[in-house]
Amino acid sequence: MDPTLTAPFELGVGPGACLLLHGFTGTPWDVRPLGEALAAGGFRVRGLRLPGHGTTPQAMLDAGAEDWLAACEEGLAGFREPRVAVVGLSMGALLALVLGARHPDRVQAVVGMAPAVRFKDRLTRGLRLARPVSLALAERLRPWVHKSTTDLLDPVARAAAPVLAAWPLRRLRDLWTIQDLAWAAAPKVRAPVLLAVARHDQVVDAGGTQELARRLKRAASVRFIELDRGAHIMPRDEGRLVLQQEVLAFLRRARTLDSGAPTV
């Protein structure tokens, strides 16, 4: 993968602060347009590259759920600002919820884009239901999952997307771990939460996101939106400008309410 496309990034000078998280087998490239918009809108943005991601398929052999969570914890702790918004895509959305539950005094707001609560792919869903025996058998038959493209409607973005050529099937266990942690964390999140899905997403089921929204019982507020345009990699797809406006407005309002200043 091209390291100039998949590198982590830091943008903006604040006064707001935002940690930006990509998804499973993804890279910071997926979320960078949103990071640029937030930086232009008054946020200091840190876009992480999760361990094992953005380099080679073999790198995924040595990184799992504990490593991804540790990287997110380190990324959050690295901000000098006392309050930080956490924004994630797909598995990154789940990681954002876990951080929100673990650090209520630190996380100002949570944005989950296409949360990877439940997948549309029948094989993945079947393995999830029948684990762990089914996964052990599947690993022997097909240890690697090969990829050639990503879920984007925009043809220009899809052609430019850095795609990990393959990933080890064993990492599904780690993805399931993150799903379970986020599901358990949701009722503990107290920050305001924005959940966003795209109508043409071929990866995750929007119904899972709606169920997740209902679990956010202690959140200061919950907003759910569905974009008419775009697919799974929402920050890069056809609805990206609407997404940017929604996220920026949401985070600005959360920051204003957090400071106790009157809203406009």
Which tens digit of pLDDT belongs to each residue from 39-68?
Answer: 999 999 999 999 999 999 999 999 999 999
Contact (CB, 8 A) for 243 and 227:
yes
Average pLDDT over residues 18-45: 98
Give percent of the chain with pLDDT exceeding 70.
96
End-to-end C-alpha distance for the chain, whole angstroms: 45
pLDDT at residue 261, as a whole number:
43
pLDDT at residue 262, as a whole number:
40
What does pLDDT average to over the chain? 93
- Cα–Cα distances in Å, from 184 out to 18, 99, 216, 258? 23, 12, 10, 25
How much is the pTM? 0.94
**Ordered alpha helix ranges (H), 150-205:** 155-160, 172-185
Fill in the DSSP letter of residue 89: E
pLDDT higher than 80, residue 80: yes
pLDDT higher than 70, residue 131: no
Going by C-alpha positions, the residue among 143, 149, 148, 199 that lies closest to residue 171 is 143
pLDDT digits (tens, 9 = 90+) for 222-248: 999 999 999 999 999 999 999 999 999
- Per-residue pLDDT band for 264 (boundaries 50, 70, 90) equals very low
Strands (E), the chain: 9-11, 16-21, 43-47, 84-89, 107-113, 144-146, 166-168, 193-198, 222-227
Could you give the domains of the chain?
3-259 (3.40.50.1820)
pLDDT at residue 133, as a whole number:
66
Environment class of 128 (CB within 10 Å of its CB; exposed 0-12, middle 13-18, buried 19+): middle
Q: How many CB atoms lie within 10 A of CB 86?
A: 29
pLDDT at residue 135, as a whole number:
72
Contact (CB, 8 A) for 48 and 71:
yes
- Pairing, β 84-89 against β 107-113: parallel
Going by C-alpha positions, the residue among 170, 248, 165, 236 that lies closest to residue 201 is 236
pLDDT digits (tens, 9 = 90+) for 156-214: 999 999 999 999 999 999 999 999 999 999 999 999 999 999 999 999 999 999 999 99
pLDDT at residue 216, as a whole number:
98
**Who contacts 255 (Cβ-Cβ below 8 Å, separation ≥6)?**
16, 83, 85, 108, 109
Beta partners for residue 224, in sequence order: 195
